Amino acid sequence: MTFPDTAKCMQCHVTIGKDKPSIQKIAQYAASNQQIPWVRVYKVIPGVNWTHRAHLSAGVKCETCHGDVSQISAMSEITSVVTMYSCLSCHEMNHAKSSCETCHSRPSFEHSSVADVRKN
């Protein structure tokens, strides 16, 4: 799971919550062109490819997964966005791709043949 650029955060936080110490810290990172040393809130299971970039590029708002971010002091796991059901429901509701390859890497079978697989 990747994190958004500091500039993305500051698009809203230039006015929203700008007096909060945590937002002022984000503004300092943005002003110095540094990445924020984020603390992971959600954990994605192995084999799932997920990025903020793809979702932000598609116009998904932070609030969709994180709740009303303007009213919280720190990010926390508010929704169940790491479940397959949650992801598929959102993709279907928003007419996004929902084939397996959208989120999952194909397993590599380069060292085995079909005959090897059938023996086991």
Residues 6+ apart with CB under 8 A from 41: 75, 76, 77
Longest Cα–Cα distance in the chain: 65
The pTM of the full predicted model, rounded to 2 decimals, is 0.55
Closest CA to 52 of 86, 8, 105, 83: 8
Q: Helices (H) and strands (E) in the chain — how many of each? A: 7, 0
Domain extent listing, the chain: 6-106
Going through the chain in order, the beta strands assigned E by DSSP cover none
How long, in residues, is the chain?
Answer: 120
The whole-angstrom separation of Cα 69 and Cα 83 is 21
The model's pLDDT over 4-57, given as tens digits with 9 standing for 90+, comes to 778 888 888 888 888 888 888 889 988 998 888 877 777 777 788 888 888 888
The model's pLDDT over 49-86, given as tens digits with 9 standing for 90+, comes to 888 888 888 888 888 887 777 777 666 666 667 778 88
